[in-house]
Chain A
Amino acid sequence: MKLQMLCLAGAAVLVVLPQASAEEQASVQADLIKELRELRTRVEALEVQQAKEKEEYERTIGELRREVDRLHREAGPTAQPEPEDELEALVEELTEQGVMGEEEPGFLESVGRAIQSSNPDISLIGDFLGHYSSNEGRGFDDEFRFRHLELGISGNIDPYARADVFIGMGQRDDGDWHTHVDEAYLTFLTLPHDLQPRIGRFKSSFGKANPQHLHALPWIEYPLIVQNYFGDHGLSGDGAGISWLVPNKWDKYIEVTYEIINNDNNSLFAGQDTDDFVHLVHLKNFFDLSDASTLELGASFATAPNDEGHGGNRSMVEGIDITYKWRPPEAGHYKSFLWQTELLAAQADLRQGQETSWGMYSAADYQFAKRWVVGLRYDYSQMPYSSSQHEHGYSTYLTFLQSHYVLMRFGYMYTDRNFRLYGDKDEHELFLQCIFNLGPHRAHKY
């Protein structure tokens, strides 16, 4: 029964509905038309907008394309990269074939190279000497001796500084070996205004011969003025210094150096027992006279107390150095000439008054073949605390340079003193020297 009722109701609805829509048809149609019109206008608006956007995109793309083309043109060869890139790859390949020897580098070899590249330069310089003197009484006389065995370690420490360390070992008069730190200093390389400070233990910049290591000299010993005024090893010590390249309109090398070091030197100054300092100023001028020749003119001044009175009694020393070098470019392997002269004057306050003294040397070196150099030197020196005592030195040297790393040198020196030092006033000395350099050693200053 219930089902029949439902069916009837459904049929009634089906019959009534179309009647109802027929009544509202007109209004629905009107709605639809209105909606369609609205849609049309919206589509038309969209079309216009799209056309506008398309136009804009095309313009932008065109601009970009032109920009890319321009960039390609500017980049030049990279615009057609093929041949040049291919060439680069080929060169790389060929370098690999161009190695010497047949074997590929082994593992240890590569590791070794890697270690080597981060190592500082380590070198050993041997300075072996045979010495004969006509006089008796010298500690080092009529014998052979390793005067100096120098271990050099140097390199950049960080982007701002480098370190140079030279440890010297040598035989004493009694034959025992001693070790001595010759130099160990930091140089700061990146300061502005052409300033370059250094700190540590170093050979002070007095004159031309004094700052040089013994093995770098063209002679066997330091000139007499250096020995008499600053001692056998020259003026050096712990301290700090700063040098400045003086700007000048001629663009010449003018360097001023100021150094302050402990008053350790007892030849001219007070020596280790005081707590005062040595102050030193050096001026260096360098000129290129031609492609072949150069001239260096230097002036030095140093002062420090010479007693324990902290400045009560002072010593002052002034020096002038002149160095002329000649090496013709075309024949640089075979010929060169050096003339070096220094003058030194000192004033020492003593209890009995001021003692003034002076000395000088002048030396010439002539390289007459690729491996041979002959040299002469004349010395005159008074004694810093006793100007009435003086000595003249006449010496000559013959050097055979086996390579850049080994040299043999023969030397003869005649010293004429007005006082007795070792037995007789006159002294004749003969030297035989062999210097060898193992490992990379920093090039010496010009």
Chain B
Amino acid sequence: MRMRMTKQQHLLIAVAWVLAAAPAVIEAQEKLRIVTTTTDLASIARAIGGEKVEVVSLATGREDPHFIAAKPSYMMAARKADLWIRVGLELEIGYEELIIDGSRNSKIRISTPGHLDVSQGVLRLEVPTQKIDRSMGDVHPLGNPHYWTDPLNGRIMAKNIAKRLQKLAPEHTNYFQQKLKAFYRELDERMFGPDLVAKLGGGKLWALLLKNRLDKVLSEPGQPLLGGWLAIMQPHAGKEIITYHRSWTYFAHRFGLVVAGELEPKPGIPPSPGHVAAVINTVQARQIKVLLMEPFYSRKAPDLIASQTGITIVQCANVVNGQPEAVDYLAMLGNVITSVSAVLGP
């Protein structure tokens, strides 16, 4: 028997489709559309915005975030955005203006509510006070822009994002605050270990750490043991590392490592033979074990140094999606901790 649908059946199916699709359409319209320049910003924005937002990152995570070309397709991504989020400190100076201008989107122009610079209030290092010029290489006048490699700054970035989302969608304030709290909790637990966070609270722990009083409090009887990244890195405090670019300053600062030298003689200037020789001398003289570098730099000079000195090259992404392990912001930081501590040894 042939199945034949009556007109009414057709109509019913059509109505069902419309009903099924309608909530999806409404929901899609309600979501805040966010465009971020880097994958780290996208990861944090997703953590805070949850299902209320739709996030697109211009960078894939595999390229150098300093050099993103102003592709017209990025303008299309920015065209309908409600919020543009940037790292700031002039990291995006080479392309941001072209993309925003090209997107013709007035909502995300600089100094509008739709434009967020998450560097507001972050801990900044290497802020120049003297007149800088290009003979110094790519020195940023507002400070080193790789601040997201310090989890403390990750917290501040998340807070900045939450504040702005509340401003743009005040009806979801509770939701964003809960998400922010959950993000704090997860970050703090990874940083200090869950026991300590449960006992003392994340904010308190960070304040103690910044005031150099964490050790003292932990030595009091009855306190839980330090866990997390700090516990992993504690034995390595004061150890020296070599980096390729001046992009690990914040990470080293937070976990007590010392950057003894960089392969680039000046930020952004490729390694010269003379400089490589000087780095080899430093590595040999000070028995440095780790050469930390991003995957998008050439292995040529690092391999040469490794063959002469036995230093271990740790190729590690400091942006989300720069490596398969770096699936989100916290996983990215965790991956760096694991990789570096494994080589620094027991």
A194 to chain B: closest residue by CB:
B104
Of B128, B181, B210, which contacts A76 at CB under 8 A? B181
Chain B 100-143 interface mask (CB, 8 Å, partner A; 1/0): 01001010010000000000011111111111001000000101
B131 & A109 in contact (Cβ 8 Å cutoff): yes
Inter-subunit contact A98/B121 (CB<8 Å): no
Q: Flag whether B63 is at the interface (Cβ < 8 A).
A: yes
How many residue pairs link A and B with beta carbons under 8 A? The number is 152
- With both chains docked as a complex, state the minimum distance between the C-beta of B202 and any C-beta of chain A, in angstroms: 8
Contacts A329-B296, A330-B62 known; A112 to B131 CB distance under 8 Å?
yes
Interface residues of B in 259-304 (CB under 8 A from A): 268-270, 295-298
Which of chain B's residues have a CB closer than 8 A to the CB of A333?
Answer: 64, 67, 296-298
B106 nearest CB across to chain A (Å): 4
Closest residue of A by beta carbon distance from B132: A100
- Decide if B106 touches A405 in the complex (CB within 8 Å): no
Contact B124 A95 (CB under 8 A): yes
Residues in chain B near residue A187, CB distance under 8 A: 101
| Residues on B with beta carbons closer than 8 Å to the beta carbon of A329 | 60, 62-63, 296
- In Å, the complex CA distance between A194 and B76 comes to 11
Given the known inter-chain contacts A76-B181, A91-B123, A195-B104, please indicate yes or no for A245 contacting B79, CB distance below 8 A. yes
Q: Take A103-B129, A194-B104, A329-B62 as given contacts and tell me if A77 and B177 are in contact as well, using a CB distance cutoff of 8 Å.
A: yes
Chain B residues with Cβ below 8 Å from A91 are 121-123, 152, 156, 210
CA distance A371 to B63 in the complex (A): 17
Evaluate contact between A291 and B62: CB separation under 8 angstroms. Answer: yes
Determine whether A139 belongs to the interface, using a CB cutoff of 8 Å to chain B: no
Q: List, in ascending order, chain A residues with CB within 8 A of B337's CB.
A: none
- B206 — which chain A residues lie within 8 A by C-beta? 83, 87
Shortest CB–CB separation between residue B328 and chain A, in angstroms?
Answer: 19
A371 contacts across to B, CB distance below 8 A: 270
Instruction: Decide if A16 is an interface residue (CB 8 Å cutoff).
Output: no
Could you tell me if B295 and A330 are in contact, using CB atoms closer than 8 angstroms? yes
Per-residue CB proximity of A132-158 to B under 8 Å, as 1/0? Answer: 000000000000000000000000000
The answer to the question of A324 belonging to the interface, with a C-beta cut-off of 8 Å to chain B, is: no
B312 close to chain A: CB less than 8 A = no
Decide: B210 and A90 in contact? CB cutoff 8 A.
yes
**CB of B42 within 8 A of chain A?**
no
B126 adjacent to A98 (CB under 8 Å): yes
Pair B177/A74 contact, Cβ less than 8 Å: yes
Instruction: Assess A446 versus B70: contact at CB under 8 Å? Given A84-B203, A99-B128, A101-B128.
Output: yes
Q: Is A92 an interface residue (CB 8 A)?
A: yes
Instruction: Judge whether A286 and B73 touch: CB under 8 Å.
Output: yes
Size bin of chain B's contact surface: 35 or more
Hey, which chain A residues are within 8 Å of B235, CB to CB? none
Complex: chain B residue closest to A334, CB-CB:
B298
B196 CB, nearest partner CB in chain A, Å: 13
Nearest-CB residue, chain A, relative to B127 = A99
Complex contacts, A86 vs chain B, CB 8 Å? 203, 207
CB distance from A295 to the nearest CB of B (A): 11
Q: Of residues B177, B180, B211, which shows the largest number of chain A Cβ atoms within 10 Å of its Cβ?
A: B177
Which B residue sits closest to A440, measured CB to CB?
A: B93
* Contact of B191 with A by CB under 8 A: no
Distance to closest chain B CB from A189 (angstroms): 6
Contacting pair B104 A245 (CB below 8 A): yes
Among B62, B76, B106, B143, the residue within 8 A (CB) of A98 is B143
| CB pair A100 B129 closer than 8 Å | yes
What chain A residues lie within 8 Å of B225 (beta carbons)? none
Residues of chain A from 77 to 91 with CB closer than 8 A to chain B in the complex? 77, 82-84, 86-88, 90-91
Q: A106 — nearest CB in chain B belongs to which residue?
A: B129
List residues of chain B with CB within 8 A of the CB of A194. 79, 104
- Cα of A22 to Cα of B99 in the assembled complex, Å: 107
Any B CB within 8 A of the CB of A313: no
Question: Known: A75-B177, A83-B203. Is A253-B298 also a contact (CB below 8 A)?
Answer: no
A109 and B64 contact, Cβ closer than 8 Å, known pairs A92-B121, A94-B123, A95-B123 = no
Residues of B within 8 A of A311 (CB): none
Q: Which residues of A contact B70 (CB under 8 A)?
A: 443, 445-446
**Chain B, 87-106, CB within 8 A of any chain A CB:** 94-95, 97-98, 101, 104, 106
Contact A189 B131 (CB under 8 A): no
B71 within 8 A of A: yes
Task: Check if A104 sits within 8 Å of B129, measured CB to CB.
Answer: yes
Query: Is A332's CB within 8 Å of the partner chain B?
Result: yes
A-B contact pairs, 8 of them (CB 8 A): A91-B122, A94-B210, A98-B143, A252-B76, A288-B71, A291-B62, A443-B97, A445-B70
What 9 additional pairs, Cβ within 8 angstroms, besides A90-B210, A294-B73? Answer: A88-B121, A91-B152, A92-B121, A94-B210, A95-B123, A100-B129, A101-B128, A187-B101, A333-B297
**Which residues from chain A sit less than 8 Å from chain B, CB to CB?**
74-77, 82-84, 86-88, 90-92, 94-95, 98-101, 103-105, 109, 112-113, 159, 162, 187, 189-191, 194-196, 245, 251-253, 255, 284, 286-288, 291, 294, 296, 327, 329-334, 370-371, 403-405, 442-443, 445-446
Top-4 shortest CB links A-B = A83-B203, A329-B63, A329-B62, A76-B177
